[in-house]
Amino acid sequence: MPELTMVEALNRALDEAMEHDPDVLLMGEDIGVNGGVFRVTKDLQAKYGVNRVRDTPLAEAGIVGTGVGMAIAGLKPVVEIQFSGFTMQAFDQIEQNMARYHHRSRGRYPISMVLRTPYGGGIHAVEHHSESREAYWAHTPGLKVVVPSGPRNARGLLAAAIDDPDPVIFYEPKAVYRAFREEVPDTPERIPLGTAEIVRDGRDITLISYGAMMRPTREAADDLAELHGIDPEVVDLRSISPMDTDTLAASVARTGRCVIVHEGPRNCGVAAEIIARLNEEVFEYLVAPIKRITGDDIHFPYFQTEEHYLPDPDTIIEAVRETVAFDG
Amino acid sequence: MPELTMVEALNRALDEAMEHDPDVLLMGEDIGVNGGVFRVTKDLQAKYGVNRVRDTPLAEAGIVGTGVGMAIAGLKPVVEIQFSGFTMQAFDQIEQNMARYHHRSRGRYPISMVLRTPYGGGIHAVEHHSESREAYWAHTPGLKVVVPSGPRNARGLLAAAIDDPDPVIFYEPKAVYRAFREEVPDTPERIPLGTAEIVRDGRDITLISYGAMMRPTREAADDLAELHGIDPEVVDLRSISPMDTDTLAASVARTGRCVIVHEGPRNCGVAAEIIARLNEEVFEYLVAPIKRITGDDIHFPYFQTEEHYLPDPDTIIEAVRETVAFDG
Amino acid sequence: MTHRTMDSVRSSKGKNRRTPRSADEDANAARRTIATPGVEDLRILAADGSVDRDLDPHLDDDELLRIHRAMVLTRVFDQRMLTMQRQGQMGTFAPGAGQEATQIGQVYPLTERDWFSPSYRSFGAQIWRGWEMERLMLLWDGFFEGFAPPPGVRDLPFSIVIGSHVLPAVGVAMGMQYREEDSVMVTNFGDGALSQGVVAEGLNFAAVNQAPIVFVCENNGWAISTRVEQQCHVDPLALRGVGFGVPSIRVDGNDVLAMIVATREAIERARHGGGPTFIEAVTYRMGVHTTADDPKVYRTDDEVEAWEDRCPLRRFGIYLLGRNVTDQAGLERIQQECEAEVLAARDRFRSRAHAKPREAFDFVFADMPDELARQRQAYLEKLDRKGVE
Amino acid sequence: MTHRTMDSVRSSKGKNRRTPRSADEDANAARRTIATPGVEDLRILAADGSVDRDLDPHLDDDELLRIHRAMVLTRVFDQRMLTMQRQGQMGTFAPGAGQEATQIGQVYPLTERDWFSPSYRSFGAQIWRGWEMERLMLLWDGFFEGFAPPPGVRDLPFSIVIGSHVLPAVGVAMGMQYREEDSVMVTNFGDGALSQGVVAEGLNFAAVNQAPIVFVCENNGWAISTRVEQQCHVDPLALRGVGFGVPSIRVDGNDVLAMIVATREAIERARHGGGPTFIEAVTYRMGVHTTADDPKVYRTDDEVEAWEDRCPLRRFGIYLLGRNVTDQAGLERIQQECEAEVLAARDRFRSRAHAKPREAFDFVFADMPDELARQRQAYLEKLDRKGVE
Ligand SMILES: Cc1ncc(C[n+]2csc(CCOP(=O)(O)OP(=O)(O)O)c2C)c(N)n1
Ligand SMILES: Cc1ncc(C[n+]2csc(CCOP(=O)(O)OP(=O)(O)O)c2C)c(N)n1
Ligand SMILES: [Mg+2]
Ligand SMILES: [Mg+2]
C-alpha cells in the first residue's frame, strides 16, 4: 500500500474511474495540461486525451450546465470548480438543473455527476478562496454532499460519488491536500455515501466534525484524553447529506454530551442541523447543551488573521471541558 | 386607518420611501408600466418616472449587480426579483458583492440596498415559483433577512429595511399578498429589524413561525386552545437574520416546549438554527424535544399536490400534542 | 459519420498557437476598421403569401399539408387551453398564437435521433415532437405525470426558468459529439432570455466546442411587459450570435418555409461537424404573456393589429391555395379535424387528471437516501390520516 | 453638463415603438446579408517604436515623462513584489509585466471625479489612481488595511472573482447618470473574464442604459493555462462588444499612446451621453499567472520571447528618445528613482504590516446586530486567552 497525499489519492480515484468506465470524463478550468491549480488531475489529459479531460472556458455556470447536459446524454461527468467560492457562479445551474433534471423528467434523465471543488481556509489564500458553504448544498433538495478528511477516505468516497446515480457535491478540504500522507490500498475501494465513521472510541463526550476540521478535533481529543482525563468519542461525518444520523445518535446516546466542529459560518450551518437531529433522536440522553465550534458569521478574514477565525484545538478543548462540567 | 392587503401595504411603504428620499429608486423586471407581476409597484412609475422606477433587462444577476453599483454611488436601490426562485440567478452577485462591498472596501462603500422578492407556495404556481430558501441568505455573512407575515408588519419592516444601512433580503410571502386586509396606520411606521413579536401569549408551549406559515400556525394555536386545552404562545419571527433569540429563549424558558414551523426544506433550514440556539440558551428549561414542521427535503411538488407539502394546522396540532404529551 | 473530436480545438501545449495572435499584430501603426461577419436575413414567403420561387424548398404536397396541419393544431390547442383556463379547468398557461410557424419550422427538420430542449412557450413544437396533447395539459395543470418526456422522444422537459436550459442543451450536444453520434440539438428561448448570462455562456461553450446545436431565439417583441428594445440595444438580435463566433441568421419567424430552410441548413451543418448556428426568428406574441397577464396595460391594440396581417397560418394558407395543394374546403377540413383531436385530448386529459400526492418523493433521487425515505414515510402517514389516496 | 436621463430609452407604453420591428419587415422575400457594424483597430506606435504622426496625440513632454515613469514604476513594483514573495515576505501575487501600457493608458484620461473598478492584475493603474504602493503591498499580503480605497480616490477595491465586479461598475455608472454627474467609470478584466455570464449581462445593461462606462478587456493571451482561443471562438474579441450594441475597438495594448487615445475618446463620449465603449487591449502576460503558477507547463519559451520584442516600455522609450523628450541617461534616472520609491514603499509596508485580528468583525455590517456583537465578544475573549493583541 503506497502512502499518498489527498491530492494523489483523488488523482488515483479519477484515474481508476476513467480506466474502468469510458463514460467518465472530466471538465474544468485548467485541468488539462496544467493538471488543475492543485494538480488533482495531473497527467490525466496526457493519458486520456483532450476529449476526456477538457479545459473549459472560464465560466462556472457553463461548466456545471454543460456537465448536466453530458449527464443527460448518458455520460458521467466529473466537473471541477477551481475554488468552492466560485460555485456561487453556478448556483442556478446546480440548484435548478443538476439537482432537478432527474425529477423534472420523472426519472428519464438521472444526473449521475460529481462536482468536485476545494473548500475551506488554512492556506493563506485571497478573498473568496477560503469559504466553507457546504450547508447551502445540504439545504438544496436533490443533492448529495460529501467531504473527505484524509487521503484514504477521499479516494473511497470519490469512487462512490462517481458511481452514484445522483448528483454529488464533493468538497475537498484544500488544507488537507498535501498536509499528510496515508496508506491507500492498491485495489479500488468504495466508501458508501451516507456513512459516518467513528475514528476514536470514547465514553465521555461525542465530538463530531468533518473535512479539514477533523485534524484539530482529533488533536483536541488526544489532548483531552492525555491531559484532562476526558475520553472523547470522535466521529468523522464524511457525508453531510445524507447524514448518518443513526451513528451520531447512537454515540450521543452513549456519551450524553456533544460538541460539533466545522469551519463554515454558524448561522443555519451543518452544526445546527446536527443539533436539531440529536434533539429529535436522543433528547432524553442529553445531559448538557450541545456546543458548536464553528466559523463566525463574518466574511472569511484576509489571510493574515485566518488562524484566529478557524476552530483550533484549544477552543475545542475548552468547549468540551465546559460541556463535561455542565450540570443543568 | 385604511384596511390594506399586503400588496397595497408594500406599495405604500415604497411610495412613502420614495416620496421622502430622492435617492430611493426601484429596479426590476416589469415593475414599471406593468407595476410588477404582483402589482406591488403599481402606479409608482407614473408617479416617479422611468428613472426612479426602472424596468430592467431579464437578468437577475444584472439587477442585483447594478443595484450594488447604485448603492456604491450612494443611492438606495430597492430591487425586485420577480420570484425568489430566480435569486439563484443572482446568487454570486448577492454573496460576493451585495453582502461584501462594504467589508471589501473597509467601510468606504456601505450597501444600503433592499432585495424584495415573493417567496413560498400556495398559489398553484409552476416549477421554481414556490421555493422558500431564506436559509441560504441567513447562512450568508453580511446580509439581513426579513420576512413579514401581514400587511401592517410588511409596511413597517420594508420601511425599516430601506432605512437600514446594510443589505437586506426581503422575502414577501406571496400566499399572503392578497389573502387578507389589515388596518395600516396613516403615518409611516418602522418595525426594527431583528425583533420578533409575540402574537399570542400562552403558557404551555411556544410556537415559532414566520411569513405565510403564521396563518396555519395561528389557526392551530386557536384550535389547540379551544379544542385541546393547550395554551400556546405564538411568536412571529419577522426577522430571520439577525434573529431575536432573546424573545424566543424567554418564551421557551417559560413554556419548556417548542414547535417550529416553516415551509422551506428541513435540512439546514431556519428551524435547525432556532433549535441550536434554544439548546444553547435554555437547555435546562426544555422538557421535550423541539419539533420541526417544515417542508420536506424534496423539490416543491407540481401544484396539484402542493397543499400536502405545505405545513397545515392539523400537522402542527399533532406535533404540539405530541410535544406536550412527551415525558422524557 | 463525421469525425468531430475536438483535438484540433483543444490542443495542448503550444500546438496550433498562432503567434502573434492577430494577423496584423506587427503591422504598422494605423487606424482602420476590421470587417466583421455579417448576419444573414431570410424570408421565402412574403407577407402577402407570395413566394420567392428560387428560395422555395419545394416540399411535397403531403409534407406541406402536414406542416399546415401542425400549425393549425397548435393554434387550436392554444385556444382550447385558454378556454379551459378561463373555465377554471387549467393552470396558468402561456399561449403561443402568432408563433406557430417559428415553432413548427424549427423542429420540422429534426429526426428521431435528434434532441430538442424547449422553453415553456413551445407546445406547438412539443406536439410535433411527439408529446401527446393530454400530457401537455397534465403538465400545465400541475400534475406530475405531465412532465415525463414520452417514451422514444429525445426531448428535455421544458424550462420555466428563462435561459436556464440552454447550457444543458449545449451539454447534450457536446455529449453527442463525445459519443460520436451524429445527433443534433435544437434549443429555443425568447428575446428576453438573451439577457441571461447563462445564455451567453451557452453560446460561448457551443462555439468553442463547435457543438452540434442550433439556437433558436424567438424574438416575439416582448418579455412580459418589456419591449425587446428595452431588453437589447442591438438590432438584429442575431448580431449577438456573431459576437460569440456563431454563424447567425435572422429569419422571418412567421414564414414557416424560411424557418424550415434556415433550421434545416443549420442542423445539417451541425450534423457534419460545422458547429452551432444562432437563428433569430422574428415573430410576435399575439396574445397574453400568460393567463395571469393583461397586455392592455403595456401595449396598444394598433400594434397587435399590425401583426394580425402577418399571421403565419393565413400566409401559409395562401401559399397552399396558390400551389393548389388544397382548396378552401380542404383547409376547413383540417381545421375541423384539429378541433376534434384537441377535444379528444382534453377528454383523455380529464380522465387522467388525478392528483397523485404519493408521488411527491419520486425521482428526487435515483437512489433515495434512508433519511428521505423516513420523511416520505411520515408524509405518507399524513396522507393516510387525511384520508388522501 | 449633459442631460443623460433615459426617458427616451425606457419610454412607457407604446411610445417610440417601431412597428414593424425591423425596417424591412414587410419587404419581399429574399435571402441577403445585413451589414453589421465593424470593429475599429488602432495602433499609433509601431512595434519598432516608430510613430504615425497623424495619429500621435502630441502630448506635452512632461506628460510623456509622467506616463513613462508610471509604466516603469509599475514594472519595478512588479519585480519587487516577486522578490518579496520568493523571500517569503509577501502573499501570492499576480504580476503584470508586459501589460504596463494597457494599465496606464486606460486610466490616464480619467479625472478625480471619475471612477475605476479594476480586476486583480491592475496595480499599475491603481498606483496611478492614487493607491499608495505600501497599501497595495498590505493588500496582497492579506492585511485588512490594504483593502480600503485611499481617501479621495473614487475606486472600487479590486475584484478577485473573475468578472464579478463588472456589474457593480455598470451600476456605479448608472448611478452617475441618475445623479446627473458627468463622471465616467472605467472597468477592466481579462480575456478569461469574457466567458463569464455576468460580464455579458454587464455589457447589456450598459448598452440598454447607455451608461457612461468604458470596458477594457485586457487580452493577454492566457487565463492561467487556458489560451484565448480555447476561451473564445471569436477574433477580434472586440466583436463581443458589437454583439451587445456597444461600440468596440481593438487596440494594441502594448502601445500606450493608442491606449490613451482610445480610452480618452471613449471616456469623452461616455461623459457626453454617448454611452459605453468596449476596448480590447491586445497584450501579453510575460510572467507567471501568479506566484503559485508555473507557465513552463503550458507554454513555450518561444512564444514568450516573441513578445519580448513588443515590450511596451522599450517601445515607448524609443519614441521618447526619437522625440528628444529625454535621453538615455534620463531614462536611467527614472528607472533609479522608481526603484528607490518602491524600496521606500516596502519599508513603509513593513513598518505597517501588523496583523490586526481584532478587526475581523469590522465592516461586516454598518449596523452590527447584537448577535454578531456577541460572537465578536467571544472571539475577542479567545484572542485574550491566546494572548493575541
Ligand atoms: C430567470 C427567470 N427570471 C424571470 C422569470 C419570469 N418570467 C417568466 S416569462 C418572462 C418573460 C420571458 O420573455 P421571453 O424570453 O422573451 O419569452 P416569451 O415569454 O416572450 O416567450 C419572465 C420575466 C423566469 N421565468 N425566469
Ligand atoms: C469566477 C472565478 N473563477 C475562477 C477563478 C480562478 N482564476 C483566477 S485568475 C483566473 C484566470 C483569469 O484569466 P483572465 O480573465 O484572462 O485574466 P488574467 O489572469 O489573464 O489577467 C482564474 C481562472 C476566479 N478567480 N474567479
Ligand atoms: Mg419574448
Ligand atoms: Mg488573460
Alpha carbon distance D216, D169 (integer Å): 12
Rounded Cα gap, residues A6 and A170, in angstroms: 13
Examine residue B191 and state whether it is found in any structural domain, yes or no: no
If asked whether residues A41 and A92 sit together in one domain, one would say yes
CA–CA separation, D282 and B5 (whole Å): 57
pLDDT tens digits, one per residue of B177-232: 999 999 999 999 999 999 999 999 999 999 999 999 999 999 999 999 999 999 99
Same-domain status, B208 and B305: yes
Determine the atom of ligand 2 nearest the C-alpha atom of D161. Answer: 26
Contact B57 D205 (CB under 8 A): yes
Of ligand 1's atoms, which has the minimum distance to the CA of residue C191? 16
On average, the pLDDT of chain C sits at 93
In chain B, pLDDT over 90 holds for what percent of residues? 99
Residues 146 through 165 of chain C touching chain D, CB cutoff 8 Å = none
Does A191 fall in a domain?
no
Give the pLDDT confidence score for residue C8 in this predicted structure.
34
Q: What is the pLDDT of residue B327?
A: 83
CB C252 within 8 A of CB C315: no
CATH code: domain of residue A253: 3.40.50.920
Listed residues B183, B208, B239: the one ending a domain: B183
pLDDT 10s digits, D283-300: 999 999 999 999 999 999
Nearest to A297 among B127, B141, B283 (CB): B141
Domain shared by A129 and A259, yes or no: no
Cell readout for D40 is 475599429
The answer on pLDDT for D47 being more than 90 is: no
Confidence class for position C331, pLDDT limits 50, 70, 90: very high
Q: Which of A23-32, C162-171, D14-23, D253-262 has the lowest mean pLDDT?
A: D14-23
Is pTM, for the whole model, over 0.95? yes
- Shared domain check, B179 and B33: yes
Work out the average pLDDT over D216-233. Answer: 98
Q: Are B77 and D179 in contact (CB under 8 A)?
A: no
Does pLDDT of D87 surpass 70? yes
B282, part of any domain: yes
User: How far, in Å, from the CA of D191 to the mean position of ligand 2?
Assistant: 9
Range(s) of the domain holding residue B175: 3-183
Q: Cis before residue A242, ω within 30 degrees of 0?
A: yes
CB contact under 8 A, C149 and A108: yes
- Condensed to tens digits (0 to 9), the pLDDT of residues D183-197 reads 999 999 999 999 999
Q: Is residue B261 part of a domain?
A: yes
Q: How much is the pLDDT for C25?
A: 56
Report how many domains make up chain A: 2
DSSP, res D152: T
Residues 264-283 of B with CB under 8 A from A: 264-265, 267-273, 275-276, 279-280, 283
Taking the C-alpha atoms of residue B216 and residue B208, their distance in angstroms, rounded to an integer, is 12
The answer, for A36 touching chain D at a CB cutoff of 8 Å, is: no
Q: CA–CA separation, A114 vs C128, rounded Å?
A: 35
Mean pLDDT estimate for chain D: 93
Q: What pLDDT, on the 0 to 100 scale, is given for residue A328?
A: 62
Using the predicted structure, report yes or no on whether residue C13 has a pLDDT greater than 80: no
* B109 in a structural domain: yes
**Residues D317-354 pLDDT 10s:** 999 999 999 999 999 999 999 999 999 999 999 999 99
> Would you say residue D19 has pLDDT above 50?
no
Catalytic entry in C135, C165, C285, C310: C285
A40 and A162 in a single domain? The answer is yes
Q: Which of A267, A282, A283 to mutate to test the interface with B (most CBs of B within 10 A)?
A: A267
Q: What is the CA radius of gyration of chain A?
A: 20
Task: Note whether A238 and A95 are same-domain residues.
Answer: no
Segment D235-259, tens digit of pLDDT: 999 999 999 999 999 999 999 999 9
Chain A, 135 to 174: residues with Cβ < 8 Å from chain D are none
Query: Do A89 and A233 sit in the same domain of this protein?
Result: no
Clarify whether C354 is annotated catalytic: no
- Best residue among A27, A82, A128 to mutate for probing ligand 2's pocket (most ligand atoms within 8 Å of CB) is A82
DSSP element (H, E) containing B120: none
Distances (CA, A) of D93 to B106, D135, D136, D137: 21, 14, 11, 10
Q: What is the position in ligand 1's atom list of the atom closest to the CA of C94?
A: 19
Please name the residue whose Cα sits nearest to atom 17 of ligand 1: C190
Contact across the interface for A308 and D297, Cβ inside 8 Å: no
- C325 pLDDT higher than 90: yes
Task: List, as ranges, residues with CB under 5 A of the ion ligand 3.
Answer: C 190-191, 220, 223
The alpha carbon of residue B59 is apart from the nearest alpha carbon of chain C, in Å, by 5
Per the domain annotation, does B102 fall within a domain? yes
Instruction: Note the ipTM here.
Output: 0.97
- Cell readout for B221 is 394555536
pLDDT of residue C36: 83
Rounded to the nearest integer, the mean pLDDT of chain B is 97
- In this structure, what C-alpha cell is assigned to residue D359? 478587526
- Going along D222-377, which residue ranges are E strands? 222-223, 226-227, 248-252, 277-282
Based on the domain organization, do A166 and A226 belong to the same domain?
A: no
- C15 has a pLDDT exceeding 70: no
Q: What digits encode the pLDDT tens for the residues B110-130?
A: 999 999 999 999 999 999 999
| Residues across chain D | 389
SS3 category, B27: strand
- End of a domain among A183, A216, A232? A183
Closest in A128, A280, A297 to B289, CB measured = A280
Q: Is the pLDDT of residue D23 over 80?
A: no
User: Could you tell me if residue B117 is inside a domain?
Assistant: yes
B15 in a domain, yes or no? yes
Supply C64's cell numbers.
406541406
Tell me if residue D178 falls in helix, strand or coil.
helix
Identify the residue whose cell numbers are 469623452: D268
State which residues of chain A have pLDDT below 50. Answer: none
> Are residues A129 and A201 located together in one domain of the fold?
no
Domain of A23: which CATH number?
3.40.50.970
Decide if pLDDT at C71 tops 70: yes
Same domain, A137 and A227: no
Q: Which pLDDT belongs to residue C26?
A: 59
Tell me how far the alpha carbon of residue D229 lies from the centroid of ligand 4, in angstroms.
Answer: 11
What residues pair up with C117 in beta bridges, in sequence order? Answer: C187
From residue B268, give the alpha-carbon distance in Å to each of A99, A209, A242, D42, D387: 17, 16, 12, 55, 35
Is the model's pLDDT at D10 over the cut of 70? no
Residue A118: its pLDDT value, please? 98
Say if the Cβ atoms of C225 and B32 lie within 8 Å.
Answer: yes
Q: How many contacts (CB atoms, under 8 Å) link B and D?
A: 155
**Closest-lying ligand 2 atom to the alpha carbon of residue B92:** 1
Interface of A with C in 247-306 (CB under 8 A): none
| B129 in active site | yes
Spatial distance between the Cα atoms of C334 and C296, rounded to a whole number of angstroms: 32
Q: Are residues A8 and A105 located together in one domain of the fold?
A: yes
Domain shared by B291 and B163, yes or no: no
Q: What is the count of residue pairs from A and B with beta carbons less than 8 Å apart?
A: 119
Contacts of A85 in chain B (CB under 8 A): 96
Q: Residue B144: pLDDT above 50?
A: yes
- C230 neighbors D208 (Cβ within 8 angstroms): yes
Q: Rounded CA gap, B191 and B208, in Å?
A: 19
